[in-house]
Amino acid sequence: MDNYLIDRETLGKFVDELIKRKALPVNTPEELNSLREESIKSLDDKIGMAIFGSLTAEQDTEFNQLLDRGDASESEFEDFFNRIGLDVEQKITDTMNAFGAEFLGGQNA
């Protein structure tokens, strides 16, 4: 199992779009690939922190119990976030937008 929360190729599609739109300080395909991997990793981390950082201590405990069970289904995760009123898709969207704006606006992104 890889060390990503979200499928890296899914995030890669988004990162690729950003890369295509910005003159990057890279000179070789290897450097470009390295930048791409770092960006994917960073985006994955930011999304995870945005979602789980929005949980209250109580919600966090409950979510951890779901994870600890090991057999929680996708629908249970869906139900959990619906019940606590956290719009996960919105969190992801906001994070991606912020990431994209930072990437495209950064001097050396």
Partner 1 sequence: MPNPEIMSFSNSESTDPSAEHIGEDLGTVQARGAMAMDVAKEQTGGQIFQNLSKEEFNSFDVSKLSNEQLVQAYHEVTALRAQIEQGSSAQNSENTQNMSATEVAQKVAEPEPTPQEPEIIDSERARSTLDKAKKNQSAKSWLTKKTMAVVIAASLLVGGAIGYYGAEASTSSAESGGRTTVEDNIDQDALGQETIENTELTGELSNGVHYDYREYADYDNKTSEYAFGYDKSEFFNDREATEDAWMEMANKSPEYISSYIDVLTDEEKAELGIDNMSTSELDDYLSNAQNIDGGAKQQKIFEKLNQIARDKENTRYEFYYENDTEYSYYHVFNDENKDGKYSPEEMRVYYSKVPRNGAPQVDVYRLINGQWTKVIDLNIQCGFQPNQETVPENMQLIPDNPDTGSETTGSEGTGSEGTGSEGTGSEGTGSEGTGNEGTDINPKDPDNLIRIDQNIDENISTDIGTENINHNPNPGVSEADKTNKPSGEEHKGTKPEIKQNDSSKSAEKVQPQKTENSHNQDKGGKNDKEYKPVQSKEEAQKKADSSATEVKNAPTDKQSVSNELKDLGID
Binding-site ranges for partner 1 (CB under 8 A):
1, 3-7, 10-14, 16-24, 26-29, 32-33, 36, 45, 47-49, 51-57, 59-60, 63-64, 67-68, 70, 72-74, 76-78, 84-86, 88-89, 92-93, 96-97, 100-101, 104
Min dist CB 16 to partner 1, Å, is: 4
According to DSSP H, which parts of the chain are helical? 8-20, 29-52, 57-69, 74-84, 88-105
Kindly write down the DSSP assignment for every residue of 25-44, as one continuous string: S--SHHHHHHHHHHHHHHHH
Min dist CB 22 to partner 1, Å, is: 8
First-last CA distance in the chain: 29
Min dist CB 8 to partner 1, Å, is: 10
Question: How far does Cα 30 stand from its chain's mean position?
Answer: 23
